[in-house]
Amino acid sequence: EEVMLRSGLPVGSLPTGLCYDERMRFHCEVRPTSDVHPEDPRRIWYIYKELCRAGLVDDPISTRPLAPQTLQRINARKATEEEITMIHTDAHYAFVKSTADMSDDDLVLLEREKDSIYFNDLTFASSILSAGGAIETCLAVAQRKVKNAIAVIRPPGHHAEHNEAMGFCLFNNVSVAARVCQKELGEKCRKIMILDWDVHHGNGIQKAFYEDPNVLYVSIHVHQNGRFYPGGPAGDWDHCGEGPGLGRNINIPWPDQGMGDGDYMWAFQKVVMPIATEFNPDLVIISAGFDAAAGDVLGGCFVSPPCYAQMTHMLMTLADGKIAVCLEGGYNFRSISKSALAVAKTLMGEPPDRLMNTIPTEAAKATVGRVMNIQAQHWRCMFPKPPS
Ligand code: 6DK
Ligand code: ZN
């Protein structure tokens, strides 16, 4: 049955949104070495080109006839200081801003002090556009200006903490966007689910909402004895939130042995979808890194484009379909382009392709079983079934 908007139009007739802004490519290494950094400005350009190639974007560079349905542009804008400091400290905002006026020598020195982060004089500009792009994308979805949307943004955000830039991340785009939506839209957007399928743990998002009952953070990431970035115990399965936020943090930490479609589907069927349905969010935001994709050297996993499509499709059953996809990591140009295209097509209503492999590994079942056991303390849907 079709869901109707107040305007009388069916939701299905609204377009899917796309946020992309060339200027987010300005952030790059000030002194590139022989081997290029994986968080390369071309990442977002390759994804955009793939969407154009498929005829989904009305752009002069598009070489193919336009598809019957195209993506509706969402303009990225600069996030304001007020918005950024809903998550970050004034000092952190001031620090990132100050890098715009530093000399190249100072920027190189700064890079050595920090954990997996580089700067140039346009890092700040790109970072506030990336956060502002996430904000505009999430607001457009939450306000039903579009059916759903994808934000092809960089630099990524999920590792950035209140006072810390780390792991290629300056500002926590998705966390800032979630807070802005709650503040601007009130009761209409109180409960937000953030699903993080980037292969790394989104320590920054977890920390920002650890005691918040209204933000459900679910992360699927490689994490074996804290050895995979960012390391430390924060990404373990027994980190479930604190105080009023207890049970609103779900970590699904894979061992480092190359997980694939069957494992992700198992996690979605057994944990992600049941808990998400019980939580019943007003908005779903995906921290969509494509570094668990087959072909990604940093991730070492094997997720296929149809599996990303399938995960998107499942999440679209929540929040009346209000889902905003925000790019995080993903380093193989081809893998991220194909994966993002599959997600965009799914958002636009195309049924996902069939998966080649749907069988979970024993290691995945063991991890998911541990998560179910601990989350049974917080979620009715996780109770073991009584014998029939
Ligand atoms: N550094 C992310 O994908 C970022 O989660 C991952 C950050 C990994 C940092 C450690 C690391 C390298 C590797 C190869 C070459 C240079 C540096 F935030 C996201 F972008 F989403 O592997
Ligand atoms: Zn990542």
Quote the DSSP letter at residue 379.
Answer: -
pLDDT at 356 over 70: yes
Quote the DSSP letter at residue 268.
Answer: I
| Structural contact between residues 202 and 219, judged by C-beta atoms closer than 8 angstroms | yes
Q: Is the CB of 289 under 6 A from ligand 1?
A: yes
Architecture of 12-382 per CATH?
3-Layer(aba) Sandwich (3.40)
Quote the DSSP letter at residue 311.
Answer: H
Q: What is the pLDDT of residues 318-353, one digit of tens each?
A: 999 999 999 999 999 999 999 999 999 999 999 999
Q: Which two tokens stand for residue 77?
A: 């804008």
- Of 177 and 383, which is predicted with more confidence? 177
- pLDDT interval class at 244 (50, 70, 90): very high
Q: Is the CB of 200 under 6 A from ligand 1?
A: yes
pLDDT at 34 over 80: no
pLDDT more than 90, % of the chain: 91
CA distance 125 to 179: 21
CA distance 137 to 378: 31
Q: Is the CB of 49 under 6 A from ligand 1?
A: no
Distance 239 CA to ligand 1 centre (A): 22
Q: Domain ranges for the chain, please list them.
A: 12-382
Q: Is the CB of 167 under 6 A from ligand 1?
A: yes
Place of tokens 């209204």: 214
- Report residue 139 CA to chain centroid gap: 15
Per-residue pLDDT at 266:
98
- Nearest-CA residue for atom 14 of ligand 1: 38
Per-residue pLDDT at 3:
62
**Any idea which ligand is nearest the CA of 35?**
1
The residue annotated as part of the active site, out of 88, 159, 201, 239, is 159
| Average pLDDT estimate for 41-63 | 94
Per-residue pLDDT at 306:
98
CA distance 82 to 172: 14
What ligand 1 atom has the least distance to the C-alpha of 200?
Answer: 5
Give ipTM to 2 decimals: 0.99
Contacts of 13 (CB under 8 A, 6+ apart): none
Q: Is the CB of 223 under 6 A from ligand 1?
A: no
Told to judge if 159 belongs to the known catalytic residues of this protein, a careful annotator would answer: yes
Per-residue pLDDT at 185:
98
336: left (phi over 0), alpha (psi -120 to 50) or beta: alpha
Label the pairing between strands 72-74 and 283-288.
unpaired
Per-residue pLDDT at 61:
85
Average pLDDT over the chain, rounded to an integer: 95
Neighbouring CB atoms inside 10 A of 77's CB total 15
**16, containing H or E segment:** strand 16-19
5-to-15, 134, 158, 163 alpha-carbon distances in Å:
13, 24, 33, 41
Distance 194 CA to ligand 1 centre (A): 20
